[in-house]
């Protein structure tokens, strides 16, 4: 299960909370597994957070995050908050910035700008994908912009997590837009990261294993999409 709020929350309170209510109701209509475990905590918007447990959502008031667009949260299998993130910042369960998380690359207004993926084997490791998408006007000069991946490790010396120095700001797909999602591999362990290439008819699927992102991706051809890099993708 991958948790990320991929809708934009603007400052206008009435609109924001209507969106929260809509997504909360949709969330509660799913199976029991969606109301606990990895998806127990939702942190989003301007210091907003919800805790889901036994179909009883509770508003929390301790989030340090302020973001107008895509963000992500992940909890342990027991429902304990581990991390939450915008495309440019990562907080731990105590709402402090994660060690070595300064200068992560991302763009704060990206609709799907952050996505947590549990490590396939080690419960003390997690991947975070961030998106520094290419604007339409400079798309063809943006070889150093796109989707980046980082690995967070919890250890004895850093029990609240630390970004691994050798796995931070790793660009795995340049010249990509905002659209990002993930699905489980048929082996039940690995994960496919799915991106839509802007101004083309191409879907790119990157395999994420215990060793990280594998390249090159698998390319799939879909009906032509000549739209700009903005928006969302579902799988």
What are the tens digits of pLDDT across the range 106-121?
A: 988 888 899 999 999 9
The pLDDT value recorded for residue 24 is 43
The pLDDT value recorded for residue 32 is 43
Is the separation of the CB atoms in 182 and 190 below 8 Å?
Answer: no
The pLDDT value recorded for residue 138 is 53
The pLDDT value recorded for residue 140 is 53
Stated pTM of the model: 0.81
The pLDDT value recorded for residue 193 is 96
Residue 115 CB partners (closer than 8 Å, separation 6+): 2, 4, 72, 128, 129, 180, 181, 182
The pLDDT value recorded for residue 226 is 58
The pLDDT value recorded for residue 217 is 95
The pLDDT value recorded for residue 139 is 53
How far is it, in rounded angstroms, from Cα 228 to Cα 4?
22
Residue positions counted in the chain: 235
- Mean pLDDT for back-to-back runs of 10 residues, the chain (235 residues): 41 40 41 64 92 85 91 93 96 96 90 93 96 62 78 96 96 86 94 87 93 94 70 75
The pLDDT value recorded for residue 196 is 83
How far is it, in rounded angstroms, from Cα 234 to Cα 42?
19
Q: Pick from 136, 150, 86: which is nearest to 112 by CA?
A: 86
How far is it, in rounded angstroms, from Cα 162 to Cα 218?
31
The pLDDT value recorded for residue 34 is 45
The pLDDT value recorded for residue 143 is 58
Tens-digit pLDDT profile for residues 204-232: 999 999 999 999 999 998 876 656 677 77
Tell me the domain boundaries of the chain: 4-178
The pLDDT value recorded for residue 56 is 80
Is the separation of the CB atoms in 217 and 147 below 8 Å?
Answer: no
The pLDDT value recorded for residue 6 is 39
């Amino acid at each position: 299960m991958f948790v990320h709020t991929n809708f934009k929350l603007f400052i206008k309170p009435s609109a924001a909370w209507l969106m929260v209510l809509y997504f909360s109701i949709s969330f509660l209509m799913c199976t029991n597994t969606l109301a606990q475990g990895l998806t127990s905590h939702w942190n989003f918007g301007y210091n907003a957070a919800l805790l889901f447990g036994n179909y009883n959502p509770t508003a929390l008031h301790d989030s340090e995050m302020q973001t107008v667009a895509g963000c992500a949260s992940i909890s342990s299998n027991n429902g304990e908050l581990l991390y939450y993130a915008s495309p440019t910042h990562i907080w731990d369960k105590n709402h402090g910035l994660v060690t070595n998380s300064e200068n992560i690359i991302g763009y704060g207004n990206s609709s799907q700008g952050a996505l947590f993926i549990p490590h396939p084997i080690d419960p003390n490791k997690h991947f975070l994908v961030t998106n520094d998408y290419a604007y339409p006007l400079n798309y063809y000069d943006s070889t150093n912009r796109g989707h980046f991946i980082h690995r967070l490790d919890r250890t004895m010396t850093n029990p609240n997590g630390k970004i691994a120095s050798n796995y931070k700001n790793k660009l795995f797909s340049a010249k990509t837009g905002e659209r990002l999602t993930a699905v489980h591999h048929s082996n039940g362990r690995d994960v496919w990261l799915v991106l839509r290439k802007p101004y083309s008819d191409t879907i790119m699927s990157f395999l994420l294993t215990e060793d990280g992102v594998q390249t090159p991706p698998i390319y799939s051809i879909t009906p032509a999409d000549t739209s700009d890099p903005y928006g969302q993708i579902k799988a």
